[in-house]
């Protein structure tokens, strides 16, 4: 034995060198370490927020912030990989493409995280306001404002994120100066081209902060009765009583009149019209109306009335006034009163229902028919004077 290393025999397996092992272990350590470090930090932060949430149950902030753990972990992992990618030496020929891709993912995940944090803060503010105020109308107004604020924040963060992504490309950075120089002209052209869109945008902000219409309001638009189901920056959706959805631009509510039954209080007064015979028992109908309302849970007990509002040659028109605490209950009260009153008239006073008069007309006293006889309706009531003959 001479102590010298034996020469490599050609055709056998290549010896594993230190440089080769380093090329294999370096990417594993960088990528695996980034993943493990992300999971550990994410788990620790989530557990810390859970404990804080349990200790401060009076606010939902920490519980809502836990919903951002996924974008938070994506931001951490992308940041670790972007910072250590040069040391990993993975696909050196594609380092520029991979680095820009990681940068784009980092910007997108950061925008996602900002939106989640903003949503948690806004929802917490609304929850605190709702716990301190019990007025439904005021809560609907604040809820509408909160929804539109979140949409504005999401739009702004999205635009900034897209702009940041575009400026990662050298060509976009080179064109930035010329774009800024012509921003005034482009703004004028865009404003003219998107005039309707911008008008809807400002109309949405006016609705949100002008308290014109709110989520949950009962409105009547174009003859359709429904409830405001969704408000965005550009359109508004009304859910009708038969579950249809009417979508219209928000500028409609700033340029045309509409009925808002929920503004100024949700209590309402409704009417029920009935056509009955002139011989209908009005006092008995008023008593029956009172009994029907007392048995109807939807009636709020504030007021009721039954009056004669019109008269025709064959019928008279009755108007029943009823009250309820909101439009839904008012509809229930109106249909209940109409149904029970008609049924009661049919069963106990059928003569009071409207009918077509087919009887012969009653002529004035002493009137004769063309043939000289008394009318049938006048017989027994009026008699012709007896004839007297003169002596010759």
Report whether pLDDT(389) > 50: no
Top mean-pLDDT range of 23-32, 191-200, 207-216, 241-250: 241-250
Q: What is the pLDDT of residues 39-61, one digit of tens each?
A: 888 888 888 888 887 777 777 77
Contacts of 154 (CB under 8 A, 6+ apart): 115, 118
Contacts of 53 (CB under 8 A, 6+ apart): 62, 63, 66
Report whether pLDDT(70) > 90: no
**H/E run at residue 301:** strand 299-311
Report whether pLDDT(383) > 50: no
Q: How many CB atoms lie within 10 A of CB 45?
A: 17
pLDDT of residue 200: 60
Contacts of 139 (CB under 8 A, 6+ apart): 129, 130, 133
pLDDT of residue 360: 62
Average pLDDT over residues 283-290: 92
**H/E run at residue 323:** strand 316-324
- b/e map 307-341, b = 16+ CB within 10 Å: eeeeeeeebbebebebbbbbbebbbebbebbeebb
DSSP secondary structure of 98-113: HHHHHHHHHHHHHHHH
Taking the C-alpha atoms of residue 260 and residue 256, their distance in angstroms, rounded to an integer, is 12
Taking the C-alpha atoms of residue 69 and residue 76, their distance in angstroms, rounded to an integer, is 10
Q: Which among 229, 230, 236 has a CA at the least distance from the CA of 254?
A: 236
Contacts of 110 (CB under 8 A, 6+ apart): 75, 161
- In the chain the domains, ranked by start, together with CATH numbers, are 20-132 (no CATH), 202-260 (2.30.30.60), 268-352 (3.30.70.100)
Taking the C-alpha atoms of residue 5 and residue 356, their distance in angstroms, rounded to an integer, is 127
Which comes out higher in pLDDT, residue 383 or 304?
A: 304
- b/e map 105-141, b = 16+ CB within 10 Å: bbbbbbbbbbbbbbbbebbbebeeeeeeeeeebebbb
CA 196 and chain centroid, separation: 22
Long-range contacts at 64-68 (CB < 8 A, ≥ 24 apart): 64/119, 64/120, 64/123, 64/124, 65/116, 65/117, 65/120, 67/116, 67/120, 68/113, 68/116, 68/117, 68/120
Beta bridge partners of 231: 236
**H/E run at residue 224:** strand 224-231
Contact 278, 315 (CB under 8 A): yes
Give, in order, the Cα–Cα distances in Å from 45 to each of 71, 77, 114, 130: 13, 14, 17, 29
Q: What is the pLDDT of residues 152-177, one digit of tens each?
A: 788 888 888 888 887 777 766 655 54
Taking the C-alpha atoms of residue 109 and residue 99, their distance in angstroms, rounded to an integer, is 15
Instruction: Give the burial class of 217: count Cβ atoms within 10 A of its Cβ; 0-12 exposed, 13-18 middle, 19 or more buried.
Output: buried
Q: Which among 336, 328, 324, 338 has a CA at the least distance from the CA of 272?
A: 338
E strands of 232-276, at which residues?
A: 235-240, 245-249, 259-260, 268-276
Average pLDDT over residues 235-262: 81
E strands of 76-223, at which residues?
A: 218-221
Taking the C-alpha atoms of residue 352 and residue 280, their distance in angstroms, rounded to an integer, is 4
Q: What is the mean pLDDT of the chain?
A: 75
């Amino acid at each position: 034995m001479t102590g010298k290393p034996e020469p490599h025999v050609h055709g056998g397996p290549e010896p594993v060198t230190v440089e080769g092992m380093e090329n294999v272990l370096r990417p594993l350590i960088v990528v695996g370490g980034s993943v493990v470090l992300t999971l550990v930090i994410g788990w620790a932060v989530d557990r810390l927020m859970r404990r804080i949430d349990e200790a401060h149950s009076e606010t939902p902030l920490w519980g809502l912030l836990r919903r951002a753990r996924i974008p938070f972990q994506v931001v951490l992992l992308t940041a670790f990989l972007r910072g250590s990618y040069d040391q990993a030496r993975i696909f050196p020929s594609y380092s520029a493409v991979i680095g820009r891709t990681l940068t784009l993912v980092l910007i997108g995940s950061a925008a996602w995280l900002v939106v989640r944090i903003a949503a948690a803060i806004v929802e917490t503010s609304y929850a605190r306001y709702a716990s301190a105020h019990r007025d439904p109308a005021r809560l609907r107004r604040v809820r509408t404002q909160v929804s539109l604020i979140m949409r504005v924040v999401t739009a702004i963060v999205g635009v900034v994120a897209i702009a940041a992504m575009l400026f990662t490309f050298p060509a976009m950075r080179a064109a930035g100066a010329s774009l800024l120089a012509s921003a005034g002209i482009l703004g004028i052209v865009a404003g003219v081209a998107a005039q309707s869109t911008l008008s809807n945008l400002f109309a949405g902000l006016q609705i949100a902060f002008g308290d014109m219409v709110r989520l949950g309001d009962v409105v009547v638009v174009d003859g359709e009765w429904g409830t405001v189901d969704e408000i965005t920056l550009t359109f508004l959706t009304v859910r009708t009583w038969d579950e249809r959805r009417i979508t219209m631009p928000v500028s409609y509510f700033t340029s045309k009149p509409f009925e808002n039954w929920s503004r100024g209080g949700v209590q309402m007064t409704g009417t029920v019209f009935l056509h009955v015979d002139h011989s209908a028992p009005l006092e008995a109908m008023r008593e029956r109306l009172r009994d029907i309302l007392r048995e109807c849970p939807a009636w709020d007990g504030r007021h009721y009335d039954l009056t004669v509002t019109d008269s025709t040659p064959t019928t008279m028109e009755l108007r029943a006034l009823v009250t309820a605490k909101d439009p839904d209950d008012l509809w229930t009260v109106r249909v209940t009163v109409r149904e029970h009153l008609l049924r009661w008239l049919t069963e106990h006073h059928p003569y009071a229902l409207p009918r077509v008069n087919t009887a012969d007309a009653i002529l004035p006293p002493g009137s004769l028919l063309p043939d000289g006889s008394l009318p049938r309706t006048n017989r027994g009531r009026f008699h012709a004077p007896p004839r007297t003959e003169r002596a010759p």
